Amino acid sequence: MTTAKKLFIKTYGCQMNVYDSERMAEALGGQGYETASSAEEADMILLNTCHIREKAAEKVYSELGRLKKLKVDKPDLKIGVAGCVAQAEGAEIIRRQPAVDLVVGPQSYHRLPEMEAKVRAGEAALDTDFPAEDKFEHLKSRPKARRAPAAFLTVQEGCDKFCAFCVVPYTRGAEISRPVLRVLEEARDLVERGVREITLLGQNVNAYHGAGQKGDVGLAALIRELAKIDGLDRIRYTTSHPNDMDDELIAAHAEVPELMPYLHLPVQSGSDHILKRMNRSHTAESYLRLIERIRAARPDIVLSGDFIVGFPEESDADFEATMELVRQVKYGYAYSFKYSTRPGTPAAERQLVDPEVADERLQRLQRLITQHQQEVQQSMLGREVSVLVERQGRAPGQMLGKSEYLHAVHIDDAMAQVGDIARVRIVDSKTNSLTARHIQADKGGE
Ligand code: SAH
Ligand code: SF4
Ligand code: F3S
């Protein structure tokens, strides 16, 4: 008798890990694995990890400590570590936690089936190469099952920017872009399976320059090609670097209706001194001018950003410059983090800011960001927006989805199903979401 083996993947970190976890599940699906709903029922557990801050990496070891105990009752259970911690720490993971059977870096996921066979035979398997073969090509085959209406699609991976604080260029390697035809093929396949919104992913997605039929193609041209796909109603992309925001991409925001009016554009700091020490190669001023141009192209665009507070040598004046930049931009949402030293990065050698001072700055910044978030949400009150319905809400009849501006919207009297794009009017703003009513007149209209 052969019963299917069960696979449980726990995903940490960024959206690219979410995408990769799906690909890994598909790769191991070919080895007879089905998805398990908990670690307890799994025959193989994979942690898809993040190395961006110390806390993220440490979480992995505490989780491994817990998972190891499952092996007592289930000696055949295999535990693997994938993602950026796997890439950064490699064999060290097995030394630190011998219960780990498999370590696989992000560029080697297509080799998982062979690695699985090896661990089943009782050996440890380690692969943190940056192989020459294209993992995307080998991870292509996928079941034609229907899926949720919003999906991720990785078009670019890796980073050549080397910001002084960041591990990504080391864990994801050099920047590569997938060829245009491959991206279009994957997008069409997603649309056939019920997807209406695709978020293009890349660590530096707007640096995309994939091979096209007549030479390299930038992100703006790729978006225009994708917009031609019938049934693909919404396109987003993340994460962008300010220096790669070219005129064509800004123009696409004005001209391509499928391109949603939301942009995540991290700046990290508002101080030119700190930006220079971060190796960001833009200034606060050049960033603000860029924002002006983007808003001129798409006045209603909602912006979000990332900030690092307490970067080495950050003075009170540097921090105040960040607060000032935030006041000027007024983000609809922003992520802010206390600087975390990452071994091997240039900033790791530098003098740290007093942690209490950094904490206090972080709190002040987060209060300001939250205030702006609320104001931007309030500005939506009374407005008509379109919501891609993604799932049922908790209350009866309630549906949940995202507006064009990426706000989470609860539709209380939903006359819509998952996968519909509903015209609604915003009637209330809660802490992290908006509430809406259906606009009846639009039902069956157009
Ligand atoms: N490629 C993206 C995202 C990188 S990681 C970009 O260029 O913006 C996501 C965010 O984590 C970064 O934008 C940064 O704000 C934060 N981050 C990265 N390294 C960090 C570190 N060492 N300490 C604290 N935050 C960090
Ligand atoms: Fe990291 Fe900078 Fe590259 Fe973003 S652009 S991934 S922050 S090195
Ligand atoms: Fe983390 Fe790696 Fe993504 S370090 S943020 S999982 S690229």
Nearest bound ligand to the CA of residue 307: 1
Ligand 2 pocket by C-beta < 6 Å: which residues? Answer: 159, 161-163, 166, 168-169, 203-204, 241
Q: What pLDDT does residue 395 have?
A: 86
Preceding amide of 239 cis, omega within 30? yes
Q: What is the CATH number of the domain that holds 58?
A: 3.40.50.12160
Are 111 and 194 within one domain? no
Q: Which of 260, 288, 306 is the last residue of a domain?
A: 260
> 238 CA to middle of ligand 2, Å?
12
Nearest bound ligand to the CA of residue 55: 1
Ligand 3 atom nearest to 52, measured from its CA: 4
Of 162-171, 355-364, 392-401, the least confident = 392-401
Structure confidence by residue, pLDDT tens digits, 191-245: 999 999 999 999 999 999 999 999 999 999 999 999 999 999 999 999 999 999 9
Which one of 52, 84, 159 would you pick to mutate in the ligand 2 pocket, going by the greatest count of ligand atoms within 8 A of its CB? 159
Q: What pLDDT does residue 416 have?
A: 86
Are 110 and 183 within one domain? no
Q: What pLDDT does residue 392 have?
A: 92
Q: Is the CB of 266 under 6 A from ligand 1?
A: yes
Note the helical H segments in 310-354.
316-329
Residue 286 lies in a domain: no
Are 10 and 123 within one domain? yes
Q: What is the CATH number of the domain that holds 224?
A: 3.30.750.210
Q: At what angle do helices 15-29 and 112-120 cross, to 10 degrees?
A: 60
Burial class of residue 229, CB neighbours in 10 A (0-12, 13-18, 19+):
middle
Q: What is the mean pLDDT of residues 37-63?
A: 95
Structure confidence by residue, pLDDT tens digits, 119-161: 999 999 999 998 877 888 877 666 677 889 999 999 999 999 9
Q: What pLDDT does residue 444 have?
A: 37
Are 19 and 115 within one domain? yes
> 353 CA to middle of ligand 1, Å?
18
Q: What pLDDT does residue 140 have?
A: 66
Q: Which secondary structure element, helix H or strand E, spans residue 276, and what is its range? A: helix 272-277
**440: pLDDT confidence band, cut at 50, 70 and 90?**
low
Helix, strand, or coil here: 383?
coil
Show the tokens assigned to 47.
């942690």
Q: Tell me which residue range forms the domain holding 219.
A: 144-260
Q: Is the CB of 154 under 6 A from ligand 3?
A: no
Average pLDDT value over all residues in the chain: 94
Show the tokens assigned to 96.
């630190």
Are 75 and 43 within one domain? yes
Q: Which amino acid is at 131?
A: P
Residue 291 lies in a domain: no
Nearest bound ligand to the CA of residue 171: 3
Q: Which secondary structure element, helix H or strand E, spans residue 28, and what is its range? A: helix 15-29
Ligand 3 atom nearest to 172, measured from its CA: 7
- Is a pLDDT exceeding 50 seen at residue 85? yes
Nearest bound ligand to the CA of residue 280: 2
Q: What pLDDT does residue 1 have?
A: 47
Q: Which amino acid is at 136?
A: F
Helix, strand, or coil here: 410?
strand
Query: CA–CA separation, 102 vs 275, rounded Å?
Result: 39
What are the two backbone dihedrals, phi and then psi, of residue 126, each rounded to the nearest 5 degrees? -135, 130
Q: Which amino acid is at 418?
A: V
Q: What is the CATH number of the domain that holds 395?
A: 2.40.50.140
Which one of 163, 166, 204 would you pick to mutate in the ligand 1 pocket, going by the greatest count of ligand atoms within 8 A of its CB? 166
Q: Which of 260, 285, 300 is the last residue of a domain?
A: 260
Q: What is the DSSP letter of 14?
A: S
- Residue 231 and residue 191 in contact, taking contact as beta carbons nearer than 8 Å: yes
- The whole-model pTM stands at 0.95
- Residue 100 and residue 80 in contact, taking contact as beta carbons nearer than 8 Å: yes
Beta strands in 221-353 (DSSP E): 234-238, 262-264, 302-309, 333-338
Q: What pLDDT does residue 141 have?
A: 60
Are 180 and 250 within one domain? yes
Q: What pLDDT does residue 441 have?
A: 42
Are 18 and 117 within one domain? yes
Which one of 162, 171, 306 would you pick to mutate in the ligand 2 pocket, going by the greatest count of ligand atoms within 8 A of its CB? 162
Q: Which of 235, 252, 327 is nearest to 293 (CA)?
A: 252
Q: What pLDDT does residue 16 have?
A: 97
> 126 CA to middle of ligand 3, Å?
19
Q: Is the CB of 306 under 6 A from ligand 1?
A: yes
Helix, strand, or coil here: 76?
coil
Residue 115 lies in a domain: yes
Q: Which residues on neighbouring strands pair with residue 409, listed in sequence order?
A: 401, 434
**Structurally, how many domains does the chain consist of?**
3
**287: pLDDT confidence band, cut at 50, 70 and 90?**
very high
Q: What is the mean pLDDT of residues 106-130?
A: 93
- Residue 261 and residue 298 in contact, taking contact as beta carbons nearer than 8 Å: yes
Structure confidence by residue, pLDDT tens digits, 317-335: 999 999 999 999 999 999 9
- Residue 132 and residue 154 in contact, taking contact as beta carbons nearer than 8 Å: no
**Residue 372 vs residues 48, 234, 272, 377, 431: alpha-carbon distances, Å:** 33, 26, 23, 8, 12
Residue 139 lies in a domain: no
Q: Which of 260, 277, 302 is the last residue of a domain?
A: 260
Nearest bound ligand to the CA of residue 365: 1
Residue 347 lies in a domain: no
Are 171 and 115 within one domain? no
Are 38 and 123 within one domain? yes
Are 158 and 234 within one domain? yes
Q: What pLDDT does residue 142 have?
A: 63
Q: What pLDDT does residue 179 have?
A: 96
- Is a pLDDT exceeding 50 seen at residue 443? no
The size of the chain, in residues, is: 446
Are 123 and 150 within one domain? no
Q: What pLDDT does residue 136 have?
A: 84
Are 115 and 151 within one domain? no
Helix, strand, or coil here: 121?
coil
Which one of 84, 160, 166 would you pick to mutate in the ligand 2 pocket, going by the greatest count of ligand atoms within 8 A of its CB? 166
Q: Is the CB of 271 under 6 A from ligand 3?
A: no
- Is a pLDDT exceeding 80 seen at residue 2? no
Query: CA–CA separation, 366 vs 360, rounded Å?
Result: 10
Q: Is the CB of 103 under 6 A from ligand 3?
A: no
Residue 322 lies in a domain: no
- Is a pLDDT exceeding 70 seen at residue 445? no
Residue 358 lies in a domain: no
Residue 211 lies in a domain: yes
Other beta carbons within 10 Å of 374: 14
What are the two backbone dihedrals, phi and then psi, of residue 133, each rounded to the nearest 5 degrees? -70, 155
- Is a pLDDT exceeding 50 seen at residue 189? yes
Instruction: Calculate what percentage of the chain has a pLDDT beyond 70.
Output: 97
